[in-house]
Structure 1
Amino acid sequence: MEHAHPPERRAYAFAWAQHRHPEREQATLRVVLGACVLIAYCCYAWLFPSRDASMVARIVALYACYGALTLLVVNRASSPSQTRLVVTTIADQALLGAALAAGGASALPLLWVVFWFLIGSGCRYGKRTLAVSCATAIAVIVALALWQPWWRANRPAALGLALSAIAASVYLGVLVDRLGSANRDLARQASTDPLTGLANRYALKRIVDRAMAASVADTALLLIDLDGFKEVNDTYGHAVGDMLLQQFAQLLARRTHASDAVARLGGDEFVVLAHRVRDRDAVLSITEGIHAALASITSVQERQVSVSASIGACMLSSAAQAGRADMSAVLRAADRAMYRAKRLGIGKTVFAEARDFEAN
């Protein structure tokens, strides 16, 4: 049975994400910038001494300690926590609000920190965390305007700060969307073969590595080499050869399941990582469909062509049993099986054996 899944969509499904630890980055910035703000504000309090300035300096020192505590917790945590993220996001703006409430006019040099928190939340975690930070900031500003003497006497300033926080959050939300879209486009381009729209070798490595790390009992890698492709290139030119590769890529994508990965390694070599194949008979059912698909390609741009495939099949469970749980070993074993298939004649499939996993 054929499944209509465009190769472009298949490549996008396996685009990778960069490995980062934004929570640790944010906690580290709390320590570093918290210490810098503490030093700067202590200088301000020394130049303009007052009881309020002294109180604000103590709260900033408390924030620096809080930053060190969050860094310690994040470094010891085994995984990210959405609850911890929400709590720390609220605590950031709330501690700043405490400083603004304690210092009144003396705390005004800290107003920029409101936007620092908004930028950090939005750029690291996205729009939801940005919304939490913005809502907390607005709540703090409203509380200041209602109960803090200086802010109550200067409510237009509170209104201006609230509107500025909202406007900055809206703008950051739009920017986060655009940056996210640009990053997704770059990831797609880096993981996609430009000619066929299939996943490329780099993306395939990540897919195979994930499969090897998970259950491999029902997964097989098929290495497909097109026989007769060189003759097509030599006879009709590279433009016709490229069209043949594109046509075959589309057929592969249609004849595999949505959960399977289809990739082009380069030249006329393709790979299918097939899931839910319990035994060799299930794999042969897939390869028979691939051979039939190639047999149906008899012309490209009204030029007669004759191509077939030699397929080397490698069950990932065999690789795991051989202790070779990496893509290079799996591809090497499938490649050896594929060359044995070539020697058997046209349109053959050969399975990798234990000896194929031995290093040269």
Structure 2
Amino acid sequence: MGAANRHSWNGQAVFGAFPKNPEKEQAILRVACGSVAFLAYLVFTLLSPSKNAYIVLAAIAFYTTFGIVTYVAVTVGPARSHLRLILHTILDQATVMMGLAVGGRAALPFLWLVFWFLIGAGCRYGRRMLALSCAVALAGLIGLMHWQPWWRTNITAGLGLTLSVAAISLYLAVLVLRLENQAATDPLTGLSNRIRLEQAIGRKLIRRSTEVHQTALLLIDLDGFKEVNDSHGHAVGDELLQRFATALVDRMRRGDTLARLGGDEFVVLADRVYGQEGALRIADDIHAILSDVRTVGGHETSISASIGVCMLAQSTGSTPLDARTMMRAADSAMYRAKTRGKGQTAFAEATDMHPVAT
């Protein structure tokens, strides 16, 4: 991955208004919900005026203004920022806690926002922001039970709410983890998909300056797969892909990333590979796997692989590397292997390693 993406997250918009900018969607929801809440509470305050009601009304106005400011911030600076995300996540829950602290009983109708922010943080940004949102909420509730008069009087309600926040956060964390795994997994083979592979390559590229060993990216294209599909049907083709994936898992080393890009293309991202000799040994293991496949679904088959290898320790001078450059280099090497015949392995060349301008 490029340097611009190394500190990004995989957040998605929940309602689809801005699918590539979940921060903007969240900012619009702050403004919309804050405005509706302000108008509703303004009516309530006019009908039942009190000091606490006015304080809560001011807290809602502050939050609506905060929403406007965040919208301007993500519009002017659309590039994703972890620092900005952390600050917004903290301020969401902190604003609710501030309203509960100054408004006491009058602010209780806004307790639902605690859970709204937990769900929003988890669904948009994953478990880390969910954990941060949960931590701020729990710290705020504990503080309320210690220092706020109404909450000190009703400490059992506070304890119940605190346990509810913790339990729901734990449940959401498990759910988000399952969804993340599902989104990054190839449904047919159970291997990683392109999304998780590019993340893994990005992590390797970040660490490569501090590691003495190399990482090899092997792009595998199955020779003869189309003939199996055409002759025996897609069910047999799928069985072949599943058998190959299972054999890869059994033969590759722990810590290697195994991925299917789609069709009959697979990738092995192998760590701790010392030179091209080490990468060739891995490629030879892959060729051996396919040489053992003689029949699939009761049909005789002849399957081999063309493998393109890109060593992630290769240098392009001052030009930064990213996942797409490495994938394209391995792809070029794989096509060179195909020109040599079936069951061949080729390495990426220096000319393959230059990123394409976007």
Fold equivalence (TM over 0.5) = yes
Structure 2 vs 1, CA of residues 356 and 25 (structure 1 numbering), >3 Å: closer, same or farther?
closer
Task: Name the counterpart of 1:4.
Answer: none
Alignment of 1:342 onto 2:342: no
Which residue in 1 is equivalent to 2:200? 207
| More displaced 10-residue stretch of structure 1: 63-72 or 298-307 | 63-72
- 8 Å CA contact retained: 2:96, 2:113: no
Q: What is the root-mean-square deviation in Å for CA atoms of aligned residues?
A: 4.5
Distance of aligned partners of 1:261 and 1:59 in 2 relative to their CA distance in 1, 3 Å threshold: same
Which of 91, 96, 100 aligns to 2:100? It is: 96
The answer for the alignment partner of 2:187 in structure 1 is 194
The CA distance in 1 between the partners of 2:91 and 2:170, in whole Å, is 24
Whole-angstrom distance in 2 between the partners of 1:261 and 1:350? 20
1:81 deviates by 11
From 322, 329, 332, give the equivalent of 1:333: 329
Matched, 1:304 2:300: yes
Q: Secondary structure at the match of 1:192?
A: coil
1:1-360 residue pairs with structure 2 within 5 A? 17-18=10-11, 53-54=50-51, 57=54, 61=58, 79=83, 93=97, 96-100=100-104, 108-117=105-114, 119-120=116-117, 124=121, 125-126=130-131, 127-140=134-147, 143-144=149-150, 158=154, 162-163=156-157, 165-215=158-208, 218-318=214-314, 320-321=316-317, 323=319, 325-357=321-353
Q: Aligned partners of 2:25, 2:162: CA distance in 1, in Å?
A: 21
Residue type of the alignment partner of 2:145: I
Secondary structure (helix, strand or coil) at the match of 1:317 reads coil
Q: Structure 1 residue 222: deviation in Å?
A: 0.7
Q: 1:326 to 1:145 in 2, by over 3 A?
A: closer
The structure having more radius of gyration, on CA atoms, is 1
Shift of 1:311: 0.8
C-alpha distance in 2, partners of 1:278/1:112? 62
Measure, in 2, the Cα distance between the counterparts of 1:263 and 1:304: 26
How far is the alpha carbon of 1:347 from its aligned partner?
A: 2.5
Shift of 1:287: 1.0
Letter in structure 1 aligned against 2:323:
M
Indicate if the aligned counterparts of 2:329 and 2:353 stay in contact, CA closer than 8 A.
Answer: yes
The higher relative CO (CA closer than 8 Å, separation ≥ 6) is in: 1
SS in 2 for 1:276: strand
Taking structure 1 as the reference length, the TM-score comes to 0.68
> What do the CA deviations read for 1:203-234 (whole angstroms, capped 9, x no partner)?
32333233334426612211111122233333
Deviations 1:16-69 (A, max 9, x none): 8427999999999999978987887777666666xxx45774686589779989
- How many Å apart are 1:334 and its aligned residue? 1.7
The amino acid across from 1:276 in the alignment is: R
For normalisation by structure 2, the TM-score amounts to: 0.68
For residues 132-158 of structure 1, the C-alpha deviation after alignment (integer angstroms, 9 at most, x for no partner) is: 3433343356x4477xxxxxxxx6xx4
* Count of residue pairs brought into register by the alignment: 320
Q: 1:300-341 CA distances to partner (integer Å, 9 max, x unpaired)?
A: 234332222111111123364483723333223222222222
Report the CA distance shift for 1:353/1:190 in structure 2 as closer, same or farther (over 3 A): same
Structure 2 CA distance for partners of 1:233 and 1:296, relative to 1, 3 Å: same
**Partner amino acid, structure 1, of 2:11:** Q
Q: CA deviation at 1:196?
A: 0.9
Contact 1:122 1:130 in 2 (8 A): no
Instruction: From the superposition, tell whether residues 59 and 322 of structure 1 become closer, same or farther in structure 2 (CA, over 3 Å).
Output: closer
Conserved? CA contact 1:319–1:330, under 8 Å: no
Change (3 A) 1:257 1:110: same
Structure 1 contact 93–140 (Cα < 8 Å) conserved: no
> Which residue number corresponds to residue 151 of structure 1?
none
Indicate conservation of the 8 Å contact 2:93/2:136, yes or no.
Answer: yes
Secondary structure at 1:318 match in 2: coil
Q: Could you tell me whether the CA contact under 8 Å between 2:45 and 2:54 is conserved in 1?
A: yes
Does the Cα contact within 8 Å between 2:56 and 2:106 map onto a contact in 1? no
Q: CA 1:128 to 1:65, structure 2 compared with 1: closer, same or farther past 3 Å?
A: closer
Once residues 314 and 33 of structure 2 are traced to their aligned partners in structure 1, the CA distance between those partners, rounded to angstroms, is 53
Structure 1 residues 59 and 174, CA gap change in structure 2 (3 angstroms): closer
8 Å CA contact retained: 1:31, 1:64: no
Contact preservation (8 Å) 2:215, 2:269 = yes
Counterpart of 1:3 in structure 2 is none
Task: Report the Cα offset of residue 272 of structure 1.
Answer: 1.0
What is the DSSP-based 3-state SS (H/G/I as helix, E as strand, rest coil) of the residue aligned with 1:195?
coil
Checking the alignment, whether the CA contact within 8 Å between 2:42 and 2:57 is kept in structure 1 is no
CA contact (8 A) 2:197 2:259 kept: yes
Q: 1:87 to 1:289 in 2, by over 3 A?
A: same
8 Å CA contact 1:219–1:274 kept in 2: the answer is yes
- Aligned amino acid, residue 303 of structure 1: H
Q: Which amino acid aligns with 1:138?
A: M
Task: Tell me how far apart the structure 1 counterparts of residues 236 and 29 of structure 2 sit (CA, whole Å).
Answer: 56
- CA shift for structure 1 position 288: 1.4
Contact 1:322–1:354 (Cα < 8 Å) also in 2: no
